[in-house]
């Protein structure tokens, strides 16, 4: 599409015919900069942005203004080099593109350029009913799909005002924790691969596969389950799930100690992790960072503990915090969170109560399959729920839970129909990526891969 | 949440759409993140605010969020600043809603509806509270003061709102598109932006019957 798009041109007519709406003429270019999303050269970058990148973040809470003299705007541009990393780089965990300004091997500025995986999922959600909505949001953070479904379901239930049976709540917690283990195992695997430890890559995937096998047994799918739905969960736990959970807990826990031997004390690994990519607690809070990155700075903030949801208030677990905010702390936090989640899974498995696995509310949950054969009303209800969906009272709600990557939030607005008026997912990866320039600043280009890995971005959630 | 009494349950202002399913939404929120009201906008029920010095703006209590404030656009930045001063260290989320096809939503007295609404979710790590700020932005002049000077983490979120809704933030250091391509026209999450359709071959052909 050319820059001078004219709303009266034949192109506009064609667009209207194909797309169904008349494309609005562009806003005047002087109002905003819609130009390059890329990192500009130093001379072309406004001072405010340089200030931000040069560490202004820290000083804002203190109310102090950055000393302009500290900002090296006079550096000749031919001494530095701007290079692209990604979006096709194998270690950027998807289609993340970083633009780095280098002085020799030192990284001066970093700018994440995102949007390569944008598929308009929030727009799609406005076209899907609440019944279909979970299948949409589950594809955002594809490494912890059950947490996406959980936050969407909690938001819908808050607007509906329905109660979920106790068993469903405990099943949700069980699967949320198993998902956390599998997501962290996946992170251990890819982080190992980024640092050259291919054995860790194989091990991480091997253990994760055990958990995915249980998910497949329960939900029918390894990923993108659509298992946690408004009103409860889609199916009851399969026979013998206790044994599967016990085997997973025993095996994974034993193997975390093998990872200790393989990585934690290994000099090459430590050399690349300790002291690399540091961030302070003030910076992390100011940049809205959550999850393991925030905890690595020593801030004990875990929504399961700080603002308990589901039944987490009844369980005994530790919030793992670091001290230095570096790569190694984030590694140690994730490794130990696997152990804490195993502890949680064991407690939950003993306490899953009998009962219904979804709310017995005919307006929200479909009738049991057996009832459809004998009752006309059940058939009608079934049909209505899966074609029209259920109506949700007007209102808006913001629900936040702790995903493996941090706070995943769902802002849901209902206008009283059976489709969300607006669904917004606050993706932890999207926000955490803003910390990358701070983490990278002053480091070596060779550490860039380790730092990206330690942020653990999932691009499906970043771009949505 | 320690010590904050739950907000009183409000009347069911959403009307009859919730027959028989109202109430009790906060039961699975152990520790009392929210009050007992199922409806989020409870018609001006004053939340137990820890900060009485905040500017006087219409407020409501909510589910999962302790209080919702509806400042006029001119006092938006001032209100968020006073929230920050009263212990809300982190900005969790900033997003927007286009109320083009749903103008008659429930707002407390004192807040006049406009087409766009920018929604800011603030988090206090020390008080363990959440607050939400909903500010109305008119269609003919969709400009809002940036929060970047208070919360640097809002940078990408404001860019996303600009990209997808066309609401501009004055004072933002780098207001460019973030998710859509640079040369994209229009703002996709607006309600008058068509979702489009894929042309289907032989759609007009007679069916088997």
pLDDT tens series, chain B, 209 aa = 333 333 333 333 333 333 333 333 333 333 333 333 333 333 333 344 444 445 566 666 666 777 888 888 888 888 898 888 888 889 999 999 998 888 777 777 777 888 899 999 999 988 888 888 999 999 888 899 988 888 888 888 998 999 899 899 888 877 888 888 888 888 888 888 877 666 666 666 666 65
The β-bridge partners of A97 are A113
Question: pLDDT at position A336, please?
Answer: 92
Q: Do B186 and A23 touch (CB under 8 A)?
A: yes
pTM above 0.90, yes or no: no
Which range, of A112-116, A379-383, B12-16, B199-203, averages the lowest pLDDT? B12-16
- Confirm if B175 and A32 have CB atoms less than 8 A apart: yes
Q: Do A364 and B21 touch (CB under 8 A)?
A: yes
The predicted-structure confidence for A118-170, as pLDDT tens digits, reads as follows 888 998 898 899 988 889 999 988 899 999 999 999 999 988 888 889 999 99
Sign for the CA dihedral angle at B181, A284, B30, A333 comes to positive
Domains in chain A, CATH or no CATH each: 1-31 (no CATH), 45-74 (no CATH), 121-463 (1.10.645.10)
Residue of B nearest to A123 (CA): B189
Rounded CA Rg of chain B: 20
Partners of residue B164 in chain A, C-beta under 8 Å: 122
Nearest to A41 by CA among A66, A76, A12, A71: A76
Q: Do B24 and A463 touch (CB under 8 A)?
A: no
Question: pLDDT at position B1, please?
Answer: 37
- DSSP letters spanning A135-187: HHHTTTSTTSHHHHHHHHHHHHHHHHTPPPPHHHHHHHHHHHHHHHHHHHHHH
Cα gap A179→A338, rounded to integer Å: 10
- Confirm if A303 and A402 have CB atoms less than 8 A apart: yes
Residue of A nearest to B169 (CA): A32
Q: Which residues make Cβ contacts (< 8 Å) with residue A16, sequence separation at least 6?
A: A22, A23
Q: Which residue of B10, B96, B105, B106 is the best one to mutate when testing the A interface, meaning the one whose CB has the most A CBs within 10 A?
A: B105
- Confirm if B165 and B138 have CB atoms less than 8 A apart: no
- Confirm if B147 and B154 have CB atoms less than 8 A apart: yes
Cα gap B81→A45, rounded to integer Å: 27
Partners of residue B149 in chain A, C-beta under 8 Å: 60
Beta strands in A262-311 (DSSP E): none
Topology given in CATH for the domain delimited by B38-152: Beta Polymerase; domain 2 (3.30.460)
Q: Which of A123, A287, A395 sits opposite B188 (nearest CB)?
A: A123
Q: Do B30 and A127 touch (CB under 8 A)?
A: no
Q: Do A158 and B151 touch (CB under 8 A)?
A: no
Cα gap A440→A455, rounded to integer Å: 11
| Listed ranges A63-77, A421-435, B47-61, B62-76; the one with the highest mean pLDDT | A421-435
The pLDDT > 70 percentage for chain A reads 83
Q: Do B65 and A394 touch (CB under 8 A)?
A: no
Cα gap A397→A412, rounded to integer Å: 5
ipTM associated with this complex: 0.81
Q: Which of A164, A433, A434 sits opposite B28 (nearest CB)?
A: A164
DSSP secondary-structure letter at A113? E
CA neighbours closer than 13 Å in the CB half-sphere of residue A335: 23
The β-bridge partners of B131 are B67, B122
Rounded CA Rg of chain A: 24
The β-bridge partners of B145 are B170
Cα gap A186→B209, rounded to integer Å: 52
Cα gap A70→A73, rounded to integer Å: 9
Secondary-structure percent of chain B, ordered helix, strand, coil, rounded to 5: 15, 20, 65
The β-bridge partners of B102 are none
Nearest to B153 by CA among A267, A444, A334, A285: A285
Cα gap B113→B103, rounded to integer Å: 7
| Lateral strand order in the sheet of A106-113 | A81-85, A97-103, A106-113
- DSSP letters spanning A177-246: HHHHHHHHHHHHHHHHHHTT-HHHHHHHHHHHHHHHHHHHHHHS-SSS---EETTEESSPPPTTHHHHHH
Neighbours of A308 (CB within 10 A): 21
Sign for the CA dihedral angle at A145, A151, A157, A159 comes to negative
Q: Which residue of B21, B96, B121, B126 is the best one to mutate when testing the A interface, meaning the one whose CB has the most A CBs within 10 A?
A: B21
Q: Do A32 and B186 touch (CB under 8 A)?
A: no
- Confirm if A439 and A455 have CB atoms less than 8 A apart: yes
Q: Which residue of B16, B69, B163, B173 is the best one to mutate when testing the A interface, meaning the one whose CB has the most A CBs within 10 A?
A: B173
- Confirm if B91 and B123 have CB atoms less than 8 A apart: yes
The β-bridge partners of B96 are B118
């Amino acid at each position: 599409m050319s820059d001078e798009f004219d709303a009266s041109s034949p192109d506009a007519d064609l667009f209207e015919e194909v797309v169904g709406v008349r494309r609005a003429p562009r806003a005047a270019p002087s109002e905003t900069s819609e130009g390059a999303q890329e990192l500009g050269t130093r001379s072309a970058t406004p001072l405010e942005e340089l200030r931000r990148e040069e560490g202004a973040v820290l000083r804002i809470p203190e109310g102090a203004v950055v000393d302009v003299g500290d900002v090296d705007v006079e550096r000749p541009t031919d001494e530095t080099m701007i290079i692209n990393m990604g979006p096709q780089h194998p270690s950027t965990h998807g289609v993340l593109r970083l633009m780095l300004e280098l002085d020799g091997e030192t990284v001066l500025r970093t700018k994440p350029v995102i949007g390569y995986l944008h598929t308009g999922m929030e727009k799609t959600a406005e076209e899907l009913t609440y019944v279909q909505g979970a299948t949409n949001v589950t594809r955002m953070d594809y490494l912890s799909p059950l947490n996406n479904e959980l936050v969407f379901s909690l938001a819908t239930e808050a607007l509906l005002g329905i109660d979920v049976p106790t068993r469903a709540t405990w099943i949700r917690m069980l699967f949320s924790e198993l998902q956390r283990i599998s997501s962290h195992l996946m992170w251990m695997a890819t982080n190992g691969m980024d640092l050259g430890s291919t054995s860790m890559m194989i091990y991480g995937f091997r253990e994760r596969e055990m958990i995915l096998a249980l998910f497949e047994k329960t939900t029918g799918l390894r990923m993108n389950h659509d298992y946690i739905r408004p009103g409860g969960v889609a199916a009851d736990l399969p026979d013998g799930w206790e044994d599967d959970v016990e085997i997973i807990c025993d095996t994974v826990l034993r193997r975390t100690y093998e990872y200790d031997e393989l990585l934690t004390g290994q000099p090459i690994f430590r050399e690349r992790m300790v002291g690399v990519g540091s961030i302070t607690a003030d910076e992390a809070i100011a940049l809205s960072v959550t999850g393991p990155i925030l905890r690595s700075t020593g801030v004990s903030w875990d929504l399961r503990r700080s603002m308990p949801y589901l039944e987490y208030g009844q369980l005994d677990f530790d919030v793992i915090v670091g001290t230095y905010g570096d790569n190694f702390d984030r590694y140690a936090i994730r490794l130990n969170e696997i152990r804490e989640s195993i502890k949680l899974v064991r407690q939950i498995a003993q306490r899953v109560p009998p009962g219904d696995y979804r709310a017995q509310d005919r307006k929200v949950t479909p009738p049991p399959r057996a009832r459809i054969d004998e009752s006309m009303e059940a058939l009608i209800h079934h049909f209505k729920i899966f074609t029209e969906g259920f109506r949700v009272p007007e209102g808006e709600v913001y629900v936040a839970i702790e995903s493996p990557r941090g706070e995943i939030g769902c802002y849901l607005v209902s206008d009283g129909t059976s489709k969300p008026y607006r669904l917004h997912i606050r993706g932890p990866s999207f926000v955490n990526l803003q910390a990358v320039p701070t983490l990278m600043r002053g480091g070596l280009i060779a550490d860039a891969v380790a730092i990206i890995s330690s942020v653990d971005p999932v691009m499906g959630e970043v771009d949505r | 949440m320690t010590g904050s009494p739950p907000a009183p349950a409000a009347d069911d202002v959403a009307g009859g759409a919730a027959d028989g399913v109202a109430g009790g939404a906060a039961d699975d929120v152990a520790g009392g993140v929210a009050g007992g009201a199922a409806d989020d906008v409870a018609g001006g029920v004053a939340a137990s605010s820890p900060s009485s010095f905040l500017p006087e703006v219409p407020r409501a209590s909510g589910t999962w969020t302790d209080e919702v404030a509806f400042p006029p656009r001119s006092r938006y930045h001032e209100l968020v600043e006073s929230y920050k001063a009263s212990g809300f260290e982190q900005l969790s989320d900033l997003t927007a809603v286009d109320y083009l096809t749903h103008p008659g939503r429930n707002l407390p007295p004192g807040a006049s509806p406009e087409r766009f609404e920018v929604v800011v979710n603030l988090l206090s790590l020390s008080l363990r509270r959440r607050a939400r700020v909903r500010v109305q932005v008119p269609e003919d002049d969709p400009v809002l003061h940036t929060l970047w000077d208070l919360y640097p983490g809002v940078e990408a979120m404001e860019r996303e709102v600009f990209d997808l809704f066309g609401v501009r933030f004055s004072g933002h250091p780098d207001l460019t598109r973030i998710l859509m391509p640079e040369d994209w026209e229009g703002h996709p999450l607006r309600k008058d932006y068509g979702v489009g359709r894929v042309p289907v071959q032989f759609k007009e052909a007679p069916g088997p019957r």
